[in-house]
Amino acid sequence: MAADAHWYKRFRDAAFISAAGVMILTFIIVLPVHPFSYLPPIIVGGGPGEWFTLGYVLYATFGLVGFAVLSALVWVIEVHEGRRMEGRTMSAALILLFAGVTLSCILLMTAGALGGYAITIQGQTTQSAQGILTPFVYPTSLTALAAVVGMGLLVLGLTSAKAHGVE
């Protein structure tokens, strides 16, 4: 990626992609299309359905709003302050942050939907639903950790940004 890259545009694109994802998820939840028509009862049923709801809300908050706010912050540094960020650090930050947020939320929603289906629709026990949820804990933790590392790299990239012409 070029040294004169406008990183705010990339963070804005991540917000737009997340907005599309939130819209698709919302349509999936509210449209009465099988098998997605099971989602509203799963959400209302609580328990694992709360994992689904948490994943959806976190994705809307951090995926859409978070990347939009980060884009504005990066815009201030790049355009208003005229500073440049190091490309490799910013690339790694954006990739880890976007992938971490997106995958964590997808894993939460998937676990919640599967566990909620087992309890709410199939009438299984809480213990059997726990068996469905448990395999999702470690991967979700790893993807959340990737997002945290990405945010750390972003902070490093923003705080070490240099004025144009300063190397």
* Residue 157: inside a domain: yes
Q: Is the pLDDT of residue 31 over 90?
A: no
* Residue 1: inside a domain: no
pLDDT computed for residue 125 by the predictor: 87
What's the pLDDT tens digit per position in 72-119? Answer: 999 999 998 888 998 899 999 999 999 999 999 999 999 999 999 999
* Residue 60: inside a domain: yes
What's the pLDDT tens digit per position in 40-81? Answer: 998 888 888 899 999 999 999 999 999 999 999 999 999 988
* Residue 37: inside a domain: yes
* Residue 107: inside a domain: yes
Q: Is the pLDDT of residue 158 over 80?
A: yes
Is the pTM of the predicted complex or chain greater than 0.85? yes
Q: What is the per-residue DSSP string for the chain?
A: --TT--HHHHHHHHHHHHHHHHHHHHHHHHS--TTGGGHHHHHHH-THHHHHHHHHHHIIIIIIIIHHHHHHHHHIIIIIS-EE--HHHHHHHHHHHHHHHHHHHHHHHHHHHHHHIIIIIT---HHHHHHHHHHHHHHHHHHHHHHHHHHHHHHHHHHT-EETT--
Structural domain boundaries, residue 55: 7-163
The answer to whether 115 touches 47, Cβ cutoff 8 Å, is yes
* Residue 2: inside a domain: no
Place of tokens 């945010």: 151
| Residue-averaged pLDDT of the chain | 91
| Structural domain count of the chain | 1
Q: Is the pLDDT of residue 165 over 70?
A: no
* In the chain, % of residues over pLDDT 70: 95
pLDDT computed for residue 5 by the predictor: 66
